[in-house]
Chains A and B, each alone.
Chain A
Amino acid sequence: MRQRVPWFATAAAVAFLLLMPGCEQKPSPEPGDPTEPPPDPSGAPAPLYEDVTAASGVDFAYRNGEDTADNLSILESLGGGAGLIDFDRDGLLDIFLPGGGGFAGPDKKQIVGRPCKLYRNLGGGKFEDATATAGLDQLAGGKPWFYTHGVAVADYDRDGWPDLFVTGWGGVTLFRNVPADPADPKKGRRFEDVTARAGLDKGIIWATSAAFADLDGDGYPDLYVCQYVDWSWGKNPVCNYDTKTPDVCPPRHFNGLPHKLYRNTGTGGFADVSTEAGLLPGGPYQSKGLGVLLVDVDGDGKPDIYVCNDTVDKFLYLNKSRPGVLRVEECGLPSGTARDDRGAPNGSMGVDAGDPGRTGKPSLWVTNYENELHALYRNESTPGRPSFQFHTAAAGIAAIGQKYVGWGTAFLDADLDGWEDLFVANGHAIRYPTGRQASRKQHPVLLLNQLGRFRDASDRIGDYAATPRLARGVGFGDLDNDGRTDLVICHVNEPAAVLRGVGGKDHHWLGVRLGGKGHSCVVGARAIWEAGGRRQTRFVKGGGSYASSGDRRLLFGLGRETAGRLVVRWPDGTEQRFDGLAVDRYYRITQGRPEPEAGSGEAK
């Protein structure tokens, strides 16, 4: 007897076929898993973020110096980032904010720094200023701060405590996380400026973003530092964009500076191996680095280096290192990641990697200048052969247009539906943008991922997005350990903002912190959540966003799933599987340990 097919089954099948993207590695749909939250009583979709800055106690503004002089130097255009670091290992991410700088002296040509700020997370959405108690109000020997931009976080000495690295004009600083009183652990932690001791006190002209990862497989995180351009007061031309109004000059007026790669010696120091490792030199059409991400792109377990350069080709350095010997091979052009779909280099700033199409491979995401598409490079690599296709248009991202200048960015699952979304902070690089719709301050953008295809959901960012900002770096991390990614957004000349993620209230989540044996660095590892035949993959990364350092824990939005298997693939190729994990909580997973530990913080 012929069976009748229920109408809803037919409709579901049709919807399935219509919505399924035509890709080789087909992402799995989520039947019965709504991607749209129920509308609020006013009819508008519920916001996914809540601006909690005022109540948080975070009240600090990065300054670029335009309040001290009208120099219109390119130095003023970069702004700063935000670093999230659980420096006291209380399980709550603290916030580090670079202070920027200004201009002093009779001719206002003396570049001076402003102190940075550390806010300790007290829980309950409250933060307190811990700068002085942590020893961050000045540098070694009482030296004042330099003009700062970026921050990177890693446990460079593998003592189990996260350390801090700060970049800027004229130098960098490495702060080691040490006990405030070695005799009394209860007195907390402080930072000690070990830059000179670590060998990082020379060779830097203008450092922007930086990132740590163990590139040579010795367990110690090595360090990549982007440098920008060879600007100085002697090379400070006047530019304009409307034939009359003086403004900041674009990077094409300057030569790119060579970037730096430092090998962690494992004895508290770093050796500059930039040249012998194979980094490209600077020049008029090369380098000009602004963003960096360390992630394994070709699946060999070794973290590779992806660098965003401003108006010139991006670099993809494939990692060919072996223990103790750092070697990289630049393959940006042949891999398809150096330029956009028109074969043009872009003004690239922010960067991240994620798996928005659920292919199991990290796609690369880059935020670019206005009138250039942000780039989503779909990963089609095999071990040793990195290969990407420009996927921005096909993913629906080009459809929204590109009127803004994009900076800090990340993949994040804002609604916990299991599909990675994208956030972009915007703000113009020049002082007086031209054009009918141009404005210096700009609105942020949120792109929600629906089965691998993005749509503009900026109206769901919440009240924060109503006001245009001059935003730069963003620190992405779960400040309150509720499974939702919160945002710390650095603005230029106005206080940073703290946005609390409040999306996906009826959805579940799972968080994991991966740790190596003996606190070894595990950038290059990946974690895979398998449930109902569907897989989500998250990657352990170094760097990312812009001039910022985010939460290194991995978060999975689970929708309505409550059971599944977690697979962890370590950089050395070994794999561990975990079944029966309870959801809506964090786990600490240490390589080789059979059981995960519940908890949000670093294993002690």
Chain B
Amino acid sequence: MAHAPSSPTPPPTVPAGEAGPGRGGAGPLPPARTGRRKALILLALAILVGLAAAGFRGRNWYRAREEWAAIREALAGRDLAAASTHLDRYVGLRPDDPAGWFLAARTARRRGRFAEAERHLDRCEQAGGVTDPTRLERDLLAVQQGRLGEIDGYLRATIGPDHPDVRLVLEALARGYLAADRWAEARQACEMWRGLEPDHPWPWLWSGWISERLGQVEQAGEFYGRAVDLVPDARDARVALARVLVRRRQPAPAADHYERVLARAPDDPEALFGLAACRVDEGRADEAVPLVDRAQARDPAAFAGLALRGRVAMERRDPAGAEGWFRRAVESQPGDPEALHLLVLSLRGQGKDAEAAQLTRRVEDLQRDLRRLGELIRTINPGLEDAAPCHEAGVIALRVGRAREGVNLLHDALRRKGDHRATHAALAGYYREAGPPALADLHQRLAGAP
């Protein structure tokens, strides 16, 4: 459980008699009246200094209390950025308060700022020692980064529904499973969290991500819609909902969502690209161009921008112009079958049938891989019985350019069967290309191959 903030301590008083008379002056003794006056002056000064110090401490005490209240309010409103700002101020005012560092560490972790969280947790333990809550926080820090090891199992076994931090544990578990591409477990964590806290938008948003990744686009839209209902200004949920609507071929409502996001953040690149895609789908390709211009001003090589420019050129019946944009898009994301398909269409539109046919085969291979990957991911369950599906999925993910996911899936295979040779061989191959060589050697040895 989080540390409760300690009450700000009252300002220390100045020790009495510290500046008392008779402390060894070298001159002649003053007359008694003069001595009394001096003592009175000194006493008054001491009182003034004491009052000033007390005032200063008191002001800090009030500022810290205000910051603490602001932190509480920001956390209740799920505004982690604002909470972080107030926490920075609070620990500046109360650097010895372990509760402030603890909350700062937790908030930084929840924001995904793991190094910062680690530092804050160190300061917390320096100030208040290692406690059960800090041990739990260290576990959550590891879990949320996808370093699940045995920790997730331990947490699931020990943190029951009545534990005061169960929601934070489920949040960290969900994030960790998402980071490790363990979709079934991420879904379970989100479902449990939703059950405990149905008015919290995040488990709905993340459930949407999971459904989207598993190819359940309609269900993803339902989850995102719920998150938007709960917090209408939630940018991520609204953008995700719009994205799903575009995928579900409903450009008009998607455009409304993107426009709402852009009303608050006019340069949001994802919303700009999304709105541009809606305009192309609506047959208003010309209106897409200035939106893409705005978004690409920040990131001229963004995949979405390149693909959209190609689509606009195609709508203008300029396949030659489109070809260049699609080639750059494919270079940027070679594992995206849609961009590759659009390149094929642009080639075909120019009569470049031979290259179009060659690339069509690549599209088909890629789609076959992605279809199989989707099937495997949907069937992989949290149980430890079989490493083969994870291995196959990992190999496919690496082949289609999804390195992080591929490595995650291969490690999931090893979690199920540590001596799965084919998986070690696949990881050896991967690390040989991407480094570090020591890992390549290690997996090569474990694969048992020369």
Contact = CB atoms under 8 A, between A and B. Distances in A.
A398 B315 contact: no
A22 B317 CA distance: 8
Interface in B340-365: 340-342, 344-345, 348-349, 353, 356-357, 360, 363-364
17 contacts: A334-B348, A334-B357, A336-B345, A336-B348, A343-B337, A343-B338, A343-B342, A343-B363, A343-B367, A344-B367, A371-B217, A371-B247, A372-B249, A390-B345, A396-B283, A402-B248, A434-B219
Contacts of A342: 338, 341
A435 B218 contact: yes
A588 to B, nearest CB: 40
Contacts of A385: 353
A401 B218 contact: no
A396 B353 CA distance: 28
A435 B223 CA distance: 10
Contact of A23 (B253, B317, B337, B338): B317
Contacts of B364: 333
A240 interface: no
Given A24-B317, A334-B356, A401 B252 contact: yes
A23 B317 CA distance: 7
A373 B246 CA distance: 11
B222 A435 contact: yes
A343 B283 contact: no
Interface string A239-250: 000000000000
A343 B366 CA distance: 11
Interface string A333-359: 110100101111000000000000000
A453 B317 contact: no
Contact of A393 (B217, B283, B367): B283
Contact of B341 (A339, A370, A453): A339
B242 to A, nearest CB: 13
A244 B153 CA distance: 28
A434 B281 CA distance: 25
Contacts of B59: none
A398 B281 contact: yes
B337 A373 contact: no
B286 to A, nearest CB: 10
A397 B249 CA distance: 11
Nearest to B244: A371
Contacts of A401: 249-253
A566 B281 CA distance: 37
Given A387-B349, A436-B222, 15 more contacts: A333-B360, A334-B356, A336-B345, A336-B348, A341-B342, A342-B338, A371-B248, A389-B345, A389-B349, A393-B315, A396-B282, A398-B281, A399-B252, A435-B222, A436-B225
B316 interface: yes
B283 A453 contact: yes
Interface in A305-363: 333-334, 336, 339, 341-344
A395 interface: yes
B225 to A, nearest CB: 7
A196 to B, nearest CB: 41
Contacts of A402: 248-250
B103 interface: no
B179 interface: no
B221 interface: yes
B259 to A, nearest CB: 15
Contacts of A380: 349
B285 interface: yes
Residue of A334, A370, A393 with most partner-chain B CB within 10 A: A393
A371 B253 CA distance: 13
Binding site secondary structure of chain B? helix
Contacts of B363: 343
Contact of A22 (B250, B281, B316, B341): B316
Residue of B249, B285, B341 with most partner-chain A CB within 10 A: B249
Interface in B249-276: 249-253
B314 interface: yes
A254 to B, nearest CB: 15
B280 interface: yes
Interface string B287-324: 00000000000000000000000000011110000000
A89 interface: no
Interface string B222-242: 100100000000000000000
B280 to A, nearest CB: 6
Interface in A565-603: none
Nearest to A454: B283
A343 B341 contact: yes
Contact of B285 (A373, A394, A435): A394
B291 to A, nearest CB: 16
Contacts of A393: 280-283, 285, 315
Interface in A368-425: 370-373, 380, 385, 387, 389-390, 393-403
Binding site secondary structure of chain A? loop
Given A22-B317, A371-B249, A435-B218, A398 B360 contact: no
A227 B222 CA distance: 35
Interface residues of A, number: 35
A336 B357 CA distance: 11
Contacts of A389: 314, 345, 349
A573 B316 CA distance: 33
Contacts of A333: 360, 364
A140 to B, nearest CB: 45
Contacts of B317: 22-24
Contacts of B348: 334, 336, 387
A390 B344 CA distance: 12
B345 to A, nearest CB: 6
B340 A343 contact: yes
Contacts of B340: 343
Residue of B247, B248, B344, B364 with most partner-chain A CB within 10 A: B248
B343 to A, nearest CB: 10
Q: Which 3 A-B pairs have the closest CB atoms?
A: A343-B341, A399-B282, A371-B248
A334 B341 contact: no
Contacts of A24: 317
Given A343-B367, A372-B249, A389-B314, A398 B338 contact: no
A398 B251 contact: yes
Contacts of B225: 436
A228 B293 CA distance: 47
Given A24-B317, A402-B250, A436-B225, A334 B285 contact: no
A461 B156 CA distance: 58
A87 B172 CA distance: 72
A273 B337 CA distance: 36
B282 A398 contact: yes
Given A399-B281, A453-B283, A373 B249 contact: yes
A191 to B, nearest CB: 43
A23 B318 CA distance: 10
A24 B253 CA distance: 32
Nearest to B247: A371
A341 B283 CA distance: 13
Nearest to A23: B317
B114 to A, nearest CB: 34
Contacts of A23: 317
Given A371-B247, A373-B249, A434 B282 contact: no
B221 A435 contact: yes
A424 to B, nearest CB: 14
A385 B350 CA distance: 13
A305 to B, nearest CB: 20
Contact of B283 (A334, A371, A399, A434): A399
A32 B348 CA distance: 38
A52 B357 CA distance: 51
B249 A395 contact: no
Contacts of B247: 371
Contacts of A371: 217-218, 247-250
Interface string A1-37: 0000000000000000000001110000000000000
A380 B225 CA distance: 41
